[in-house]
Amino acid sequence: MSDHVVLIEDSRIAAPEDDGERLSRRFFLGAAGAAGILYTAALAYPIYRYLASPEEMALSATAVTEVTLKDAQKLPLGSVLMFKFGTAPTMLIHHEDGRWVAMTAVCTHLGCTVQYEPQADRIHCACHGGVYNAYTGANVSGPPPKPLKLFKVAVNDTGVEVSRA
Amino acid sequence: MTSKTLTTSVYDWVDERLGLSELAAFARHKTVPVHAQSFWYYWGGISLFLFLLQCFTGVLLLVYYRPGAEAYESVRQITFVMHFGWLIRSAHAWAANLFILAILVHMFSVYFMKAYRKPREFGWLSGMALLGIASIFGFSGYLLPMDELSYFATKVGLEIPAAIPWIGPAIANMLRGGPEVGEFTVQRFFALHVVVLPALFLPLLAFHLWLVQRYGNAAPPSEEAKPVAERKSIPFMPNFIRKDLAMWLISLNVLALLASVFPWSLGHQADSLVPAPAGIHPEWYFMSPFEMLKLLGNVLPGTSGEIAGLLLFTLGIALWVFIPFYDIKKPTGQRARAAHYFGLIAVFALLATTVIGYWTIR
């Protein structure tokens, strides 16, 4: 509240003597209002940062550009491995023809986690029936407005490296 | 439509349905006595404000706190990982202490102004119940971080109900959730602290405030002895409420200063295999009964001392709580001094044992 007091004193100095009354009163109200806003902001800021903490932690997690999945090269043909790329659910698919594909597992419609269906060789969202191509991530049918994002995949002897495309 | 006419028409619309102007007219007629002891009138309001702050910071802590086995880890996270978590926790702990302090000041001022006399007996009784619940709030909240201090404080504190003959051990086990203080204790203390106690406290508080509203502020006997024409008062709205709010602002600043300059510490995680740290002592508001028990233990060692202590406390508290029923207004207008001396002795005993308690910490 120290700036509050200082501002009031300033107003006394600043107010001209002759047509003073109204002007200094106005100045006082303005200064008191400003001090009130500053005071409220000083209280609100720590509370906002406190509540926003997990969001900020997640931000640093999403800064991840590469994830190494140990022993994932042993993933059988026609199966999927679900993992988190940063905080986002992601899937690594090993297709029957031996091709490797990684893409986000979050439906572009309303955010449900999608499922790889090996029999139909497609990606399906149970929430509202969205269907994606299991190789390209393209939205094939149903409500999804956008394709699923693809990742780069590099397979070696010790595991699979997935990185941002 | 100008903003002024818009405001008026919105006000009229609401007023017609909720009767705001009746309420405003009612509030205008309310007055608060002015005299040499008027300063003490603010302490109930300050207590209320600190309680509201407790609710607010408590809800913020609830956002990250996890009771049970993870309790310590979650408090560590709040204190060291979450932005400003240390400040929120510190504000909650400091506000709790200031709350108890404000209630005590409020209680003693009511006592010495004899504001418990007819027709305000229920105000006194509900206030005592609120103080009782507040101290259980303090005791249960103290365990929640599950650090060394919480652990030993709870362990020692639960020895008091355990000393009650026959049923004591069963009560202590029920409160502890087993023979040892552990994750089950934290879980049930948490339920007590955030659900059961607020559910008891809030309606009682509403009752207490309603009584204050119904009977107004009591003037001390010295004021009541004056003729009506000589008594001064100010309107509650807006004069008193303005001063009240200024007190709230001062309290908030004091709290902000204490919480940020002296952050509440977090000790090591509770471990039943680690001996109690040297110099361990109860919080200041439990220091006096702790010291009284210790002193009595010197005179009457063993269980007999504990039982005698319990009896003495029960008697003292009963005398204190039921004061409105034996310190009544004399029809002759004669001043009753017995209650006054009893109050002074109580204040002296509390202060003296607290000082001795801190003096003898090793």
Q: What pLDDT is recorded for position B136?
A: 95
**Which residue of chain A is at minimal alpha-carbon distance from B86?**
A50
B247-288 residue pLDDT tens: 999 999 999 999 999 999 999 999 989 988 888 888 899 999
Q: A-B interface: how many C-beta pairs under 8 angstroms?
A: 28
Structural contact between residues A144 and A129, judged by C-beta atoms closer than 8 angstroms: no
Question: Of all residues in chain B, what percent carry a pLDDT higher than 90?
Answer: 67
Contact A53 B82 (CB under 8 A): yes
B296-311 residue pLDDT tens: 888 888 778 888 888 8
Amino acid, single-letter form, for residue B265: S
Q: Same domain for A158 and A84? A: yes
**Which residue of chain B is at minimal alpha-carbon distance from A53?**
B82
The closest of B317, B288, B345, B312 to B112, measured between CA atoms, is: B345
Compute the nearest-CA separation of B90 from chain A (Å).
Answer: 13
Task: Flag whether pLDDT at A149 surpasses 70.
Answer: yes
**Mutating which of A1, A3, A4, A53 best tests the B interface, going by the most B Cβ atoms within 10 A?**
A53
Find chain B residues with C-beta within 8 A of A47's C-beta.
60, 84, 88
Considering only CB atoms, B60 lies closest to which of A1, A47, A52, namely: A47
The closest of A57, A109, A92 to A162, measured between CA atoms, is: A92
What's the whole-model pTM score?
0.85
Structural contact between residues B146 and B71, judged by C-beta atoms closer than 8 angstroms: yes
Neighbour count for residue B256 (Cβ, 10 Å): 18
| pLDDT tier at B362, thresholds 50, 70, 90 | low
Contact A50 B81 (CB under 8 A): no
What is the Cα–Cα distance from A91 to A105, expressed in whole angstroms? 6
| Residue B31 CA neighbour count, 13 Å, CB half | 9
pLDDT: which is higher, B215 or A15: B215
When the pLDDT of each residue in chain B is averaged and rounded to a whole number, the result is 92
Pure H helices in chain B:
3-18, 20-29, 42-62, 71-80, 85-112, 121-143, 148-157, 159-162, 168-176, 183-191, 197-215, 221-224, 241-261, 284-299, 303-321, 323-326, 338-359
Q: What pLDDT is recorded for position B279?
A: 82
Find chain B residues with C-beta within 8 A of A52's C-beta.
83
Find chain A residues with C-beta within 8 A of B60's C-beta.
47, 50-51
Find chain A residues with C-beta within 8 A of B249's C-beta.
1
Q: Same domain for A30 and A42? A: yes
Residue A148 has phi, psi (to 5 degrees) of: -80, 140
pLDDT: which is higher, B221 or A31: A31
For the residues B202-220, what does the mean pLDDT come to?
Answer: 94
What is the Cα–Cα distance from A154 to A92, expressed in whole angstroms? 11
Q: Same domain for A55 and A88? A: no
Task: Flag whether pLDDT at B39 surpasses 80.
Answer: yes
Task: Flag whether pLDDT at A11 surpasses 50.
Answer: no
Find chain A residues with C-beta within 8 A of B82's C-beta.
50, 53
Beta bridge partner(s), residue A115: A124
Q: What pLDDT is recorded for position A42?
A: 95
Q: List residues of chain B with CB under 8 Å from any CB of chain A.
A: 60, 63, 81-85, 87-88, 249, 253, 256
Amino acid, single-letter form, for residue B80: F
Contact B88 A46 (CB under 8 A): yes
Residue B208 has phi, psi (to 5 degrees) of: -60, -45
- The helix-helix angle for B85-112 and B338-359 (nearest 10°) equals 150
Interface predicted TM-score of the whole assembly (ipTM), two decimals: 0.88
Contact A49 B63 (CB under 8 A): no
| pLDDT tier at B214, thresholds 50, 70, 90 | very high
Q: List residues of chain A with CB under 8 Å from any CB of chain B.
A: 1, 43, 46-47, 49-53, 56
Structural contact between residues A107 and A144, judged by C-beta atoms closer than 8 angstroms: yes
**Mutating which of A1, A48, A49, A50 best tests the B interface, going by the most B Cβ atoms within 10 A?**
A50
Q: Same domain for A111 and A132? A: yes
Question: What CATH number is associated with residue A100?
Answer: 2.102.10.10
| pLDDT tier at B58, thresholds 50, 70, 90 | very high
**Mutating which of B84, B245, B260 best tests the A interface, going by the most A Cβ atoms within 10 A?**
B84
Q: Same domain for A88 and A158? A: yes
Contact B84 A49 (CB under 8 A): yes
Find chain A residues with C-beta within 8 A of B87's C-beta.
46, 50
By residue range, what is the domain housing residue A153? 66-164
Compute the nearest-CA separation of A45 from chain B (Å).
Answer: 9
Find chain A residues with C-beta within 8 A of B248's C-beta.
none
Q: Same domain for A56 and A10? A: yes
Considering only CB atoms, A50 lies closest to which of B85, B249, B256, namely: B85
Q: Same domain for A16 and A76? A: no
Q: What pLDDT is recorded for position A128?
A: 95
Considering only CB atoms, B63 lies closest to which of A1, A46, A51, namely: A51
Q: Same domain for A81 and A148? A: yes
Q: What pLDDT is recorded for position A5?
A: 41
Look up residue A135 and give its DSSP letter.
T
What is the Cα–Cα distance from A130 to A31, expressed in whole angstroms? 57
Q: Same domain for A117 and A57? A: no
Domain total for chain A? 2
Q: Same domain for A119 and A98? A: yes
Question: Which CATH architecture describes the domain B36-220+233-268?
Answer: Up-down Bundle (1.20)
**Which residue of chain B is at minimal alpha-carbon distance from A36?**
B249
B308-345 residue pLDDT tens: 888 888 999 999 999 999 888 776 666 678 888 989 99
For the residues B195-206, what does the mean pLDDT come to?
Answer: 98
Contact B253 A1 (CB under 8 A): yes
Compute the nearest-CA separation of B23 from chain A (Å).
Answer: 28
Contact A46 B253 (CB under 8 A): no
Compute the nearest-CA separation of B53 from chain A (Å).
Answer: 12
What is the Cα–Cα distance from B85 to A121, expressed in whole angstroms? 48
The first and second tokens of residue B77, run together, are 């996270």
Find chain B residues with C-beta within 8 A of A1's C-beta.
249, 253
